[in-house]
Copies of this chain bind each other. A is one copy, B any other.
Amino acid sequence: MDVHDEEIEESSDNEVVNVSGEYSVTPWQVDGVVDYNKIVQDFGTRLITPEIIEKLKIISGNIHPLLSRGFFFSHRDFDTILDAYRNGDNFYLYTGRGPSGHVHMGHLMPWFFTKYLQDTFKSRLLFQITDDEKFLYSQHLSLQEVENYAYDNILDVIAMGFDPKLTRIIIDTKNIHALYPLYLEISKRLTFSTARAVFGFKPSSNIGMIGFPAIQAAPCFLPSLIEQKPTRVLIPAAIDQDPYWRITRDVAEKMGYYKPAQIHSKFVPSLEMNGKMSSSKPTSAIFTTDNPETIENKISGAYTGGQPSVGLQRILGGNPDACPVFWYLSHFFDDGKDSFERSLKCRTGNLLCGECKSDLTTQTKLFISKFTRRRDQARNKIGSFLYEDNPFD
Complex: A208 Cα to B251 Cα, angstroms? 14
* Of listed A135, A174, A184, A213, residue having the most chain B CB within 10 A: A184
Complex: A214 Cα to B190 Cα, angstroms? 18
In the assembled complex, A344 has its CB within 8 A of some CB on chain B: no
Q: Give residues of chain A (169-192) contacting chain B, Cβ–Cβ below 8 Å.
A: 173-174, 176-177, 180-181, 183-185, 187-192
Distance between A202 CB and nearest chain B CB, rounded to angstroms: 7
Please state if A187 and B143 are interface contacts (CB–CB under 8 Å).
no
Complex: A180 Cα to B143 Cα, angstroms? 11
* Interface pick from A10-18, A105-113, A193-201, A298-306: A193-201
In the assembled complex, A206 has its CB within 8 A of some CB on chain B: yes
- Supposing A210-B210, A210-B211, A211-B211 touch, asked if A204 and B181 sit within 8 A by C-beta, the answer is no
Closest to A214 in B: B207
In the assembled complex, A382 has its CB within 8 A of some CB on chain B: no
Complex: A183 Cα to B195 Cα, angstroms? 20
Please state if B210 and A207 are interface contacts (CB–CB under 8 Å).
yes
Please state if A192 and B205 are interface contacts (CB–CB under 8 Å).
yes
Please state if A210 and B192 are interface contacts (CB–CB under 8 Å).
yes
Q: Which residues from B are CB-within-8-Å of A132?
A: 180, 184
**How large, as a class, is the contact surface on chain A?**
20 to 34
Please state if A213 and B208 are interface contacts (CB–CB under 8 Å).
no
Complex: A213 Cα to B208 Cα, angstroms? 10
Q: Which residues from B are CB-within-8-Å of A214?
A: 207-208
Closest to A179 in B: B176
In the assembled complex, A21 has its CB within 8 A of some CB on chain B: no
Closest to A131 in B: B184
In the assembled complex, A40 has its CB within 8 A of some CB on chain B: no
In the assembled complex, A136 has its CB within 8 A of some CB on chain B: yes
Q: Which residues from B are CB-within-8-Å of A208?
A: 183-184, 187-188, 190, 211, 214
In the assembled complex, A203 has its CB within 8 A of some CB on chain B: yes
Partner pick for A207 among B136, B143, B180, B191, CB 8 A cutoff: B191
Q: Which residues from B are CB-within-8-Å of A176?
A: 176-177, 180
- Binary flags per residue of A213-227, CB closer than 8 Å to B gives 1, else 0: 110000000000000
- Supposing A132-B180, A136-B187 touch, asked if A203 and B192 sit within 8 A by C-beta, the answer is yes
Distance between A146 CB and nearest chain B CB, rounded to angstroms: 9
- Binary flags per residue of A128-155, CB closer than 8 Å to B gives 1, else 0: 0000100110000001000000000000
- Supposing A132-B184, A177-B177, A181-B173 touch, asked if A203 and B211 sit within 8 A by C-beta, the answer is no
Closest to A203 in B: B193
Please state if A191 and B173 are interface contacts (CB–CB under 8 Å).
no
Complex: A190 Cα to B203 Cα, angstroms? 10
Q: Which residues from B are CB-within-8-Å of A206?
A: 187-192
- Binary flags per residue of A335-347, CB closer than 8 Å to B gives 1, else 0: 0000000000000
Q: Which residues from B are CB-within-8-Å of A211?
A: 187, 207-208, 210-211
Distance between A10 CB and nearest chain B CB, rounded to angstroms: 20
* Of listed A132, A135, A210, A214, residue having the most chain B CB within 10 A: A210
Q: Which residues from B are CB-within-8-Å of A192?
A: 201-207, 210
Closest to A193 in B: B203
Extra A-B contacts (19), CB below 8 Å, given A187-B208, A192-B206: A132-B184, A135-B184, A136-B184, A143-B181, A174-B177, A176-B176, A177-B177, A184-B208, A188-B208, A191-B203, A191-B204, A191-B206, A192-B203, A192-B210, A195-B207, A207-B210, A207-B214, A210-B210, A211-B211
Instruction: Give me the interface of A with B, judged by CB distance under 8 Å.
Output: 132, 135-136, 143, 173-174, 176-177, 180-181, 183-185, 187-193, 195-196, 201-208, 210-211, 213-214
